[in-house]
Structure 1
């Protein structure tokens, strides 16, 4: 399950989507531009799904003890081939990337940007890095430490929830003679570590030292997932993302993100999460994390404990919501007190002791299960202790009405009469200048038989036919011509199949938008050309058109850059495909106009917690 929280300036994701203007503000030089685009996406804009491969297995490297791994390197410039550090360095790579990104609120606009990250070679001739390094990639190259040659690579698996990705060089023999790094155990508090990578876009490998200072569940900046993370006091900077964190000659984590406005505080993805992702790939696809199906609240309040008859020795969490059609439906009840998870005692604040004197949120043990596995609970119901086993049947995101952030595809949209419609997801919410309360509450809802996806009118492209609606934005569309909407595809098809003179859209409290259907069809080409929109619908909707729909017309368009981006590029996108009776429009392309970068998103309402407490 997932949690989308406020991303404040105290945490900054390391990697390639960093705004150059933001880097300038904190006196950091942006990474140099590198690489060239080459990968061709599918017709609907998605990255092709790679064929299933044999999942990676761990391969041991030479035994190295903790003291040897942290000894100072030899003085005088002499390189010792038997130095354990040299073997580690051999397996560290710099990842060069070109990303193709879209402007969420104007998804017909896109741009390419270049950057770099770090990675490590693991068993199976695979390269492990961060998902935020490889996300939206169109061209990847990897360059091993100590070499000048770059090898073209491709994404094999990517887990956005875990912020981890597995790459593979297209030349399968590129690194066959390199000893892969071996995964170690979850490090202990104050355990010394070394962070390897290529920070600030440099071409020389950097090694920084520190100790593990904290282990707890943290919100991953990439998607807002709430998962286990280890805090280290070694310097982790831009470009370190995806690099190995080493202790005792083994990988104990992957560098992920840095504390902002703090000194020498960084976060790494620990090996339990890495192993979870490697295990997840065994069926040839990434499933993610499951959801047990109920929400809980703490029981530290004395009055609440007294009401439910708990003794001083009894601890647990109170169930206050059960999701319909979830694993808990029919097995867990509101008012149950959950006291144990997989044999671990749950404290009144929701934590469990995972090592002597160290506590972590109990949902971590849900995160450690794969889809299809059972998770066991003990609950007190009507003063009686019971045992309940729940099967994690499907990824937690499927229990969300508002889906998580999306990558590697063009956002879905549809324009009709100058009104822009999109399915409501976390990307849209993140892009809003403040979230309306009605929309915020949807992040806690699950799909049902009536609606499994919300539809939102994000904005209006002003024209005479949509006069009086020009200031409307972020309207949830509840009905079309009096009929409820099941999902965005249903909404789109209802507009396409309408035959009446008017299309009436109803938002909350029966607020109405009335569109003259024939006028909207007739004026569509002019409105699109006026605002430099190259297509009235996203690629996934274009490929669903019937065979008698007008053929798309290619027209070169200079794309408006999104924020944050590199210099704009010129592409040749597909021109609008509109309703069957509408001829293909001639598109007029305006000059590109820069968009002011938005560095820190506006505060968002707390959304469901990943891995157990919330879907």
Structure 2
């Protein structure tokens, strides 16, 4: 083999082509039939390839041996002289985006940056792409392959958990003559695929080829949501995100970003997740994925299996945690053994056989349900078999004390006396320099009647009034003046309405920070100016502080409805990450996956200029906000 490679390289260096027949003549390689030299990828020895590979165009033996070689320059024609990829290429677009992002731990600072991704036309002027391509976008443009014209676009729906977004061109006739791409099924192992997109390194469409090498649940890079993903050995580079992955002329997935720095390994979001999102938005909003309400552990340990009386032919998982007020509360008990999910046998390691010889984590069957549907479990309790049905009543993140990453809005923060406070969410945890054990433990807790959101001191802007606290950061604040905190809004209002001389903040181990209230109010403007902070609180808290009094002035009959809103109420919070849509029309699925005329949406751009400094950071007690403490946490 080494001798063959050296001789082949020598001929190539001399600019000469070497044929298999020539190698056969010098006894280095057996004769190869012409059809064999056109294979896309050398087939593995295993004969269980799910789908036969499509023959590649005639090319040199070196080009044929690489399963990730770009195909954009290849000319493949059918007997009538047409390009079979032409229709696919016509439906692939480049997404140009300007994103406005914030510094998580210094959320008064923001920046705008340009980028690009890929997408595919799924119906008329509707485009499917990755959520991370469209998130935090203030300006979007779509450019189709083989065209120079760009069309301005907007976000219709965005599912951050699935890392998928649906865009719409503002020109309703932009792509009315383009044939939308059709969704296929979940591909099989070793099935040939082609990845279309616009990766970095050029402006034209790129096509790479490979095979499916792995199917399992993975943590999506965008939010860390654990969903089914497909690994392929085709090159997927920056800019490919959102582009279609094609097999047998149909879409089998959408390329997504990878958290692994490896060569010739890429990941795609398969069609089961795409179909889930398209079905999810039929009601005009993105609900996400439900949660059944309990956690279970594997039972591969022999001693554990003997203790719970499992026979050699019995398999399952042991329930070790049940969340309060969840669907499982009162129906599932700690010590139950889950043996089946939706009729599928659960193995001792927590997997389920979803195709002959292929296993996937059992939670995949929970992911495939929509909010509002029921899921069925078979359990063993004290040796007795039971069947229970649990409703997936609301998104899983509602059962988390620490909410997932948030997008499309400024992070919530409040500065008092130079101390910076924020609600604890995954963005904050990801930005910390190391995660304290106490904070890490909260990621496994659920909200309760006492607390629905945690408050954390993220940093201190050093000044004379906060001396001795300069080193404090990542502190969980449990109490304000001896009173427990329900959520961040409750914390904010407790400080705002306080009229005592000293405000005392306590952690769980009774560590205290004492702030002179009057001194903090007096010195705050200077501290903000010194550190270049343009506002002492985020825009959502500014809206609370500037909310109008309950008694609204009378409005003339001739006045338009908008006149009833006082000017002070205009700085409303940014669009929540889970709903980037204002009453869109239902979406139809599958062959025409998405409805053609969803209602207009509002995606207000984030401000690009600094906000004016608020001279009085804390309201006097007599004008404290009248809004009662919120019952739930701020929506991420």
Q: Report if TM-score (shorter chain) is over 0.5.
A: yes
Does the 8 Å contact 2:75/2:83 carry over to 1? no
Cα-to-partner distance string for 1:202-242 (whole Å, 9 max, x where unaligned):
21000000000000001111111110000000000010000
Does the 8 Å contact 1:66/1:249 carry over to 2? no
Partner of 2:425: 425
Select which of 612, 618, 625 maps to 1:579. Answer: 618
Counterparts of 2:166 and 2:618, CA distance in 1: 41
Question: Any residues of structure 2 matched to 1:62-77 within 5 Å, and which?
Answer: none
Shift, 1:571, TM fit: 1.9
Counterparts of 2:354 and 2:74, CA distance in 1: 42
Does the 8 Å contact 1:66/1:247 carry over to 2? no
Does the 8 Å contact 2:420/2:460 carry over to 1? yes
Partner of 1:151: 151
> Measured at CA, do residues 201 and 100 of structure 1 come closer, stay the same or move farther in structure 2, by a change above 3 Å?
farther
User: Could you say what secondary structure the match of 1:535 adopts?
Assistant: coil
Q: Does 1:163 align with 2:154?
A: no
> Measured at CA, do residues 236 and 141 of structure 1 come closer, stay the same or move farther in structure 2, by a change above 3 Å?
same
Shift, 1:125, TM fit: 3.0
Partner of 2:359: 359
Counterparts of 1:547 and 1:490, CA distance in 2: 16
Partner of 2:455: 455
Shift, 1:529, TM fit: 0.2
Cα-to-partner distance string for 1:334-371 (whole Å, 9 max, x where unaligned):
00000000000000000000000000000000000000
Partner of 1:504: 504
Shift, 1:263, TM fit: 1.9
TM-score for the superposition, normalised by structure 1:
0.79
Does the 8 Å contact 1:259/1:266 carry over to 2? no
Cα-to-partner distance string for 1:424-455 (whole Å, 9 max, x where unaligned):
00000000110000000000000000000000
> Measured at CA, do residues 511 and 249 of structure 1 come closer, stay the same or move farther in structure 2, by a change above 3 Å?
same
Does the 8 Å contact 2:52/2:191 carry over to 1? no
User: Could you say what secondary structure the match of 1:434 adopts?
Assistant: coil
Question: Any residues of structure 2 matched to 1:100-179 within 5 Å, and which?
Answer: 100-123=100-123, 125-179=125-179
Shift, 1:84, TM fit: 2.2
Q: Does 1:325 align with 2:364?
A: no
Cα-to-partner distance string for 1:398-418 (whole Å, 9 max, x where unaligned):
000000000000000000000
Shift, 1:547, TM fit: 5.4
Counterparts of 2:303 and 2:359, CA distance in 1: 25
> Measured at CA, do residues 178 and 547 of structure 1 come closer, stay the same or move farther in structure 2, by a change above 3 Å?
closer
Counterparts of 2:521 and 2:321, CA distance in 1: 46
Counterparts of 2:93 and 2:320, CA distance in 1: 48
Counterparts of 1:166 and 1:252, CA distance in 2: 17
Which protein has the larger Cα radius of gyration, Structure 1 or Structure 2?
2
Partner of 1:242: 242
Does the 8 Å contact 1:69/1:248 carry over to 2? no
Counterparts of 1:93 and 1:177, CA distance in 2: 14
User: Could you say what secondary structure the match of 1:199 adopts?
Assistant: coil
Shift, 1:123, TM fit: 2.4
Counterparts of 2:378 and 2:491, CA distance in 1: 44
Counterparts of 1:377 and 1:502, CA distance in 2: 55
Cα-to-partner distance string for 1:17-55 (whole Å, 9 max, x where unaligned):
xxxxxxxxxxxxxxxxxxxxxxxxxxxxxxxxxxxxxxx
> Measured at CA, do residues 81 and 505 of structure 1 come closer, stay the same or move farther in structure 2, by a change above 3 Å?
farther
Does the 8 Å contact 2:417/2:523 carry over to 1? yes
Partner of 2:350: 350
Does the 8 Å contact 2:57/2:75 carry over to 1? no
Partner of 1:17: none
Partner of 1:413: 413
Figure out how many residues of one structure are paired with residues of the other and give that number: 502
Partner of 1:466: 466
Shift, 1:580, TM fit: 2.9
User: Could you say what secondary structure the match of 1:200 adopts?
Assistant: coil
Question: Any residues of structure 2 matched to 1:161-560 within 5 Å, and which?
Answer: 161-200=161-200, 202-258=202-258, 260-546=260-546
More contact order relative to length (CA 8 Å, sep ≥ 6): 1
Does the 8 Å contact 1:291/1:366 carry over to 2? yes
Runs of 4 or more above 3 Å deviation: 65-82, 258-261, 546-549
Shift, 1:469, TM fit: 0.5
User: Could you say what secondary structure the match of 1:462 adopts?
Assistant: coil
Larger displacement relative to structure 2 (570-579 or 467-476): 570-579
Counterparts of 2:124 and 2:387, CA distance in 1: 41
Shift, 1:579, TM fit: 1.9
Cα-to-partner distance string for 1:75-111 (whole Å, 9 max, x where unaligned):
7799988422000000000000000000000000000
Counterparts of 2:81 and 2:129, CA distance in 1: 26
Shift, 1:176, TM fit: 0.4
Counterparts of 2:75 and 2:470, CA distance in 1: 70
Partner of 1:60: none
Does the 8 Å contact 1:67/1:248 carry over to 2? no
**Gapped regions of structure 1 (runs ≥ 5):** 1-64, 553-568, 583-615
Shift, 1:68, TM fit: 6.2
Cα-to-partner distance string for 1:246-271 (whole Å, 9 max, x where unaligned):
00000000001246342200000000
User: Could you say what secondary structure the match of 1:223 adopts?
Assistant: coil
> Measured at CA, do residues 451 and 77 of structure 1 come closer, stay the same or move farther in structure 2, by a change above 3 Å?
closer
> Measured at CA, do residues 273 and 70 of structure 1 come closer, stay the same or move farther in structure 2, by a change above 3 Å?
farther
- When the two chains are superposed, the root-mean-square deviation of aligned CA atoms in Å is 2.1
User: Could you say what secondary structure the match of 1:275 adopts?
Assistant: helix
Does the 8 Å contact 1:193/1:247 carry over to 2? yes
Shift, 1:126, TM fit: 1.1
**Gapped regions of structure 2 (runs ≥ 5):** 1-50, 59-70, 550-566, 569-606, 622-636
Shift, 1:66, TM fit: 7.5
Does the 8 Å contact 1:201/1:238 carry over to 2? no
